[in-house]
Structure 1
Amino acid sequence: MKASYAKYNLQFKRPSGTSRGVMTTKETWFIQLEADNRKGIGECGILRGLSVDDRPDYEEKLKSTCENIQLGLNRLLEDLIEFPSIQFGLEMAFKSLKSESKFELFPSEFTLGKDHIPINGLVWMGDSDFMKQQVKSKIEAGFDCIKLKIGAIDFQTELDILKGIRDEFSKSDIELRVDANGAFSTSEALEKLKRLSEYDLHSIEQPIKPKQCDAMAKLCEVTPIPIALDEELIGVFQNEEKEKLLQIISPQYIILKPSLVGGFNGSQEWINTSESLGISWWITSALESNVGLNAIAQWTYTLQNGMPQGLGTGSLFTNNFHSPLRVKNGTLQYDLTQDWDFNLRL
């Protein structure tokens, strides 16, 4: 077996804002495996400034993994415990190598085009007019679950946007989620959650910065809005640590990004632990190209979680790879009339 890798920079159609800053490009890496006249493709979707494996030795580790591919998947995954995005890319590549089609990793009614995945429509941060325009376009596109990034512009403006939605659509019409990306201080968080609760929100993601377990636990205990942990899960590698974290904080939800928490295996460990503690979950992409998004979507469908998932990010980039993935009427679908165009040389 041979393995190679290459870097690829995804270009946003327009700058996309969160409370951590504005993004214009997204770096990603691909692994290609070759054996017995077959090829497998995997994507290592790192998020600079957020991924735990955002380290100076990232490419060196990727190169070493390819040079030692003969060790096999299980051994390599053990060696990559601190590099969850490479773990995921490697899992994806091995799945791809063994599949009849290198992009059909989990054959199902979804990949046959016979079923779909409900997803939320994502509204990025910007000025009030831009955010309102995004909300309007998501509703017109058939979404009944909308997630808004908050925490970077004036809080009252954000409340006004939520009020504008609720003045026209009840919670039975539109499910609203918000994502603060840790923007609230511990001293102001509860008061802001109380004000947000006036708008019948489904949940808020990561209201305060991660690694403040006691503060987050207290917030989850008294919050008027269900809290979903996101960044809090990054860098927690061992099962015992995962269970301890969830026992201490006791959130209402956790959100799993396979590229950030160790791929299929790492995400499944979080799911098993959360379900044992009565904590609900959903899956979200982490700005991967359509290659990574495809793998996440196919796997997510097999989990049969009926909640809207966070898988609507494929249309954000100007230079994404053409694929059968299509967003229609608030769902992610597989359009068998469309084919792949993965034109990257590895």
Structure 2
Amino acid sequence: MLKADYQYYPLIFKQASGTSRGVLTQKDSWFIRIWDDKNPNVIGIGECSIIKGLSSDDREGYEDKIKEICESIDDYWYYLEDGLIEWPSIYFGLETAFLDFQSKGSKVLFPSDFTAGKAQIAINGLVWMGDSGFMKEQIQQKLEDGFDCLKLKIGAINFDEEIKLLQAIRKDFGSDKIELRVDANGAFLPANALGKLKILSEFQIHSIEQPIKAGQWNDMADLCLSSPLPIALDEELIGVSDLSLKNELLNTIKPQYIILKPSLLGGIKGSKEWIDLAEERKIPWWITSALESNVGLNAIAQWTYTLNNPMPQGLGTGQIYSNNIVSPLYMSKGFLAYDTSAKWEI
């Protein structure tokens, strides 16, 4: 008979990390564990985690829902079909716990050259918001670490200061050396967004994520049509679970890119729906972790590798916590890799 339980595990940032929504110091995470009582040593583990103010299931009753699932694990098929539409991050945790259970608790959910240690995944280096000195320090460190694609979170400090940072980067590194992505997290207003995008476009930026707040489809569609800088949708996809609504969103906004965070979009299943719809419209995409521990990151990275997307992915978040779970994942010169000789802490 199947059994399940869960454990709350708050993740602690090594240093406070700034976004336009505020400063993050801790992230709430829960681990779901699944096993068969006839073989209790084979345990599948999945991670459910939320970002305050961003996850659509960041609301009262979250842990109660996890508890309900664990107590009703024999009805897992119901939860993996339509029973968790309103709880996308819990779906991701349950979905990946079952994948791990099926792989006999090995944490190798998608066997490939990546999990065999023969191939790596290109990733971008993430630069958090802060004062210009702090951001410069991060940029220098990422360049020393071998990254040739940087993602800068913007929108929290003075826009002119952010422009000076970009000028400083481009002075020393042309677009042939460093690919720059920026993420505004919805910080711009529709009235001034286009003007800011025109200024940003002078720095040969690859794309900007979510320049204005989600939910303003017509304003975002106008921006995607007029912007000299390619726009990538991120927050815009969160909470949109109905397939017809996904179709409508892409048909209305017509973005240049979409970005997929499985634990915010209903797991691998929900993310694959977005990928299929995007590819029908020839909209490129890439995958980003949503600040999970190495348990969630491992599942996302392994699945991402199987999709054969050559673009740098947003999977470089494994070193931001002081209490992360020790895993075989490691970063090397702008790539995420898997050390087959390393052991999991769990």
**Interval containing the TM-score (normalised by the shorter chain):** over 0.9
- Equivalent residue for 1:79? 83
Q: Spell out the pairing of 1:24-173 with structure 2 (5 A cutoff).
A: 24-35=25-36, 36-37=38-39, 38-73=42-77, 75-173=79-177
1:6 Cα offset (Å): 1.4
- Equivalent residue for 1:176? 180
Call closer, same or farther: CA 1:74–1:301 in 2, change over 3 Å. Answer: farther
Q: Is the 8 A contact 1:69 1:76 kept in 2?
A: no
Equivalent-residue separation in structure 2 for 1:262 and 1:288 (angstroms): 14
Equivalent-residue separation in structure 2 for 1:48 and 1:73 (angstroms): 28
Letter in 2 for 1:17: G
Q: Secondary structure at the match of 1:26?
A: strand
1:34 Cα offset (Å): 1.1
Q: Spell out the pairing of 1:253-292 with structure 2 (5 A cutoff).
A: 253-292=257-296
Alignment deviations for residues 104-147 of structure 1 (CA, whole Å, 9 cap, x no partner): 10010000000000000000011111101111110111100000
Equivalent-residue separation in structure 2 for 1:270 and 1:207 (angstroms): 20
- Identify the match of residue 209 of structure 2 among 201, 205, 210: 205
Unpaired runs of 5+ residues, structure 2, are none
Equivalent-residue separation in structure 2 for 1:316 and 1:149 (angstroms): 15
Letter in 1 for 2:241: F
Q: Is the 8 A contact 2:80 2:95 kept in 1?
A: no
Alignment deviations for residues 3-43 of structure 1 (CA, whole Å, 9 cap, x no partner): 11111111101000000000111111110001141211000
1:74 Cα offset (Å): 5.1
Return 42-51 or 172-181, whichever deviates more.
42-51
Unpaired runs of 5+ residues, structure 1, are none
1:223 Cα offset (Å): 0.5
Q: Is the 8 A contact 1:210 1:231 kept in 2?
A: yes
Alignment deviations for residues 161-216 of structure 1 (CA, whole Å, 9 cap, x no partner): 01111011111110000000000001010000000001000000000000000000
Return 70-79 or 266-275, whichever deviates more.
70-79
1:76 Cα offset (Å): 3.9
TM-score, scaled to structure 1? 0.97
Letter in 2 for 1:164: A
Q: Is the 8 A contact 1:41 1:102 kept in 2?
A: no
- Identify the match of residue 193 of structure 2 among 186, 189, 193: 189
Equivalent-residue separation in structure 2 for 1:100 and 1:235 (angstroms): 32
Letter in 1 for 2:31: F
Letter in 1 for 2:296: G
1:73 Cα offset (Å): 3.3
- Identify the match of residue 329 of structure 2 among 325, 328, 340: 325
1:67 Cα offset (Å): 1.4
Letter in 1 for 2:147: F
Equivalent-residue separation in structure 2 for 1:100 and 1:319 (angstroms): 25
Q: Is the 8 A contact 2:69 2:76 kept in 1?
A: no
Letter in 2 for 1:139: L
Equivalent-residue separation in structure 2 for 1:75 and 1:9 (angstroms): 24
Q: Is the 8 A contact 2:4 2:33 kept in 1?
A: yes
Q: Is the 8 A contact 1:257 1:283 kept in 2?
A: yes
Letter in 1 for 2:6: Y
Q: Secondary structure at the match of 1:314?
A: coil
Letter in 1 for 2:207: S
Q: Is the 8 A contact 2:43 2:104 kept in 1?
A: no
1:57 Cα offset (Å): 1.4
Letter in 2 for 1:65: I
Q: Secondary structure at the match of 2:319?
A: helix
Letter in 1 for 2:3: K
TM-score, scaled to structure 2? 0.97
- Equivalent residue for 2:24? 23
Return 157-166 or 57-66, whichever deviates more.
57-66
Letter in 2 for 1:184: F
Asked if 1:233 corresponds to 2:233, the answer is no
Equivalent-residue separation in structure 2 for 1:328 and 1:268 (angstroms): 28
Return 99-108 or 276-285, whichever deviates more.
99-108
1:72 Cα offset (Å): 2.7
What stretches of structure 1 move > 2 A for 4+ residues in a row?
72-77
1:278 Cα offset (Å): 1.2
Q: Is the 8 A contact 1:73 1:90 kept in 2?
A: no
- Equivalent residue for 1:5? 6
1:61 Cα offset (Å): 1.2
The alignment yields a C-alpha RMSD, in angstroms, of: 0.9
